[in-house]
Amino acid sequence: MCGRYTLIANAEAIRLLFKLPELDERLVVPRYNIVPTQPIAVVRAGHKGRELVPVRWGLIPWWAKDPKTLPLMINARAEGIAEKPAYRDAFKYRRCLVPASGFYDWQAPKSNRGKGPKQPYLASPGPIEPGDDKLIAFAGLWETWHGADGSEIDTATIVTTDANAPLAAIHERMPVVIAPEDFGAWLSAETTPADAAALLKPAPDDLFSLVPVSTRVNAAENDDPGLIAEATVEAEPPKRRTPKRAARDPRQRSLF
């Protein structure tokens, strides 16, 4: 899955990779811990070409009457995406790209039946540091939801698929990465759902490097360069042992 990611590349790097005719630099500030429901920047096809626009992370289908009754749709599984009511219209007409520098995922403890604190990892296209311009593009879908009071909000979700071999050791799912040569096909409304679905596959095994990072990333309020720094894998807590009861002195009376 993809529940947190980072985008630290500068505006010019984003403009060049996505071939944007123009870009509002106010949308591009270093973010080290992007969290669901926050505003995110996505690339979509506009009237004047590709555009970078802000949306809320967590898709609301256009037909929803009350978003509060829906689950938070931050991820859309690639399997069956063309048929699922929540995604099929967006998958056919409103596909987008989500610029990212990397994403976080958590590995459950191998002992104690997977219970206990999880170790976060950063998956990125090679080691990254503040000011780095390495970029990838997640497959996304966007929608515009209209409220009964006349309000409207643009929202988006990130498409996920089975994890590739290296990431499968951390989690069974990963975000779909669209290669630059496929940007046009993914964004075009003329691309058939079948051809778009063919792009929804795991990333090459050599695309991402994995480094353990601090559990500070668990807290949404933390958003600083220290989050992407490699950290020592935090030791699993020792198994809790139940102390043995001391044998009762037969001379001592019991209250029970």
Q: Counting every residue, how long is the chain?
A: 256
Which among 185, 174, 9 is positioned nearest to 100, based on CA atoms? 9
Which among 112, 105, 102 is positioned nearest to 235, based on CA atoms? 112
Q: How far apart are CA 42 and CA 54, in angstroms?
A: 6
**pLDDT tens for each residue of 188-240:** 999 999 999 999 999 999 999 999 999 999 999 999 999 999 987 754 444 44
Which structure tokens are listed for 35?
Answer: 């969290």
**pLDDT tens for each residue of 147-198:** 888 889 999 999 999 999 999 999 999 999 999 999 999 999 999 999 999 9
CATH superfamily membership of 4-102+132-203: SOS response associated peptidase-like (3.90.1680.10)
pLDDT at site 184 = 97
CB atoms within 10 A of CB 29: 11
Quick one: pLDDT band at residue 117, thresholds 50, 70, 90? Answer: confident
CA 224 vs CA 56, 230, 236, 256: distances in Å: 21, 14, 25, 58
pLDDT for residue 116 is more than 90 = no
**Domain extents in the chain:** 4-102+132-203
Question: Got the DSSP string for 146-167?
Answer: E-TTS-EEEEEEEEEEE--HHH
Which among 104, 114, 217, 220 is positioned nearest to 158, based on CA atoms? 104
**pLDDT tens for each residue of 54-111:** 999 999 999 998 888 888 899 999 999 999 999 999 999 999 999 999 999 999 887 6
pLDDT at site 50 = 96
Backbone φ and ψ of 90, nearest 5°? -65, -40
> What is the value of pTM for the model shown?
0.88
